[in-house]
């Protein structure tokens, strides 16, 4: 499914940005797009932000609402995939195309994503778990280390 028309995040016309095939993700994204803000958009009672990424193979823009993990104007993206055995599909898109647009409230910025390791990952992992404690539960349910990206 795609939204055709004005791309809210990039102010371009006749741009096609794809919505998730998962109904709850699509509904959350549609709520944000209809309101024009992430204010009031929540998952499990916690705030989310809306990321726009570029597909690695298709080059299409895709919306990804994730938990709000922010510090000092930088944002984190955690690839939990609900404790699944594989990384979420957006992981591979960001590895190929690290330029990401972030909408937090009505503020929209374009940032560069990079995957974290070591002490820097641990710092942001702690912030992520504080923002959404279920991340710790997800980590305990899978053998893979949940990837963490910083966007700055």
- 57-114 pLDDT tens trace: 999 999 999 999 999 999 999 999 989 899 999 999 999 999 999 999 999 999 999 9
- State how far Cα 54 lies from the chain centre: 12
Q: Is the pLDDT of residue 122 over 80?
A: yes
Q: Please, what is the average pLDDT of the chain?
A: 90
Quote the strand ranges of the chain, DSSP E. 2-7, 12-18, 42-43, 46-54, 61-67, 70-71, 74-78, 99-104, 107-115, 148-151
3-state secondary structure of 112: strand
Residues with Cβ within 8 Å of residue 36, at least 6 apart in sequence: 8, 106
At 5-31, the pLDDT tens digits run: 334 444 443 357 888 888 889 999 999
Q: What is the pLDDT of residue 11?
A: 43
Q: Which residues contact 74 (CB under 8 A, 6 or more apart)?
A: 111, 150, 151, 152
Enter the tokens of residue 11: 């102010």
pTM, entire model = 0.87
The structure tokens listed for 134 are: 């279920």
State pLDDT tens for residues 87-102.
999 999 999 999 999 9
């Amino acid at each position: 499914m795609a939204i055709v028309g004005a791309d809210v995040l990039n102010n371009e016309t006749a741009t096609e940005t794809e919505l998730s095939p998962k109904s709850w993700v699509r509904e959350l994204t549609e709520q944000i797009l209809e309101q024009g803000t992430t204010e009031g958009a929540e998952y499990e009672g916690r705030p989310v932000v809306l990321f726009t990424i570029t597909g690695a193979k298709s080059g299409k823009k895709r919306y990804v609402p994730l938990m709000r993990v922010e510090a000092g104007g930088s944002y984190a993206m955690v690839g939990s995939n609900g404790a699944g055995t594989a990384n979420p599909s957006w992981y591979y898109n960001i590895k190929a195309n690290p330029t990401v647009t972030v909408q937090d409230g009505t503020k929209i910025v374009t940032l560069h994503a990079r995957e974290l390791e070591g002490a820097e990952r641990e710092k942001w992992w702690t912030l992520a778990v504080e923002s959404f404690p279920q991340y710790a539960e997800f980590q305990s349910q899978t053998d893979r280390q949940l990837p963490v990206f910083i966007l700055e």
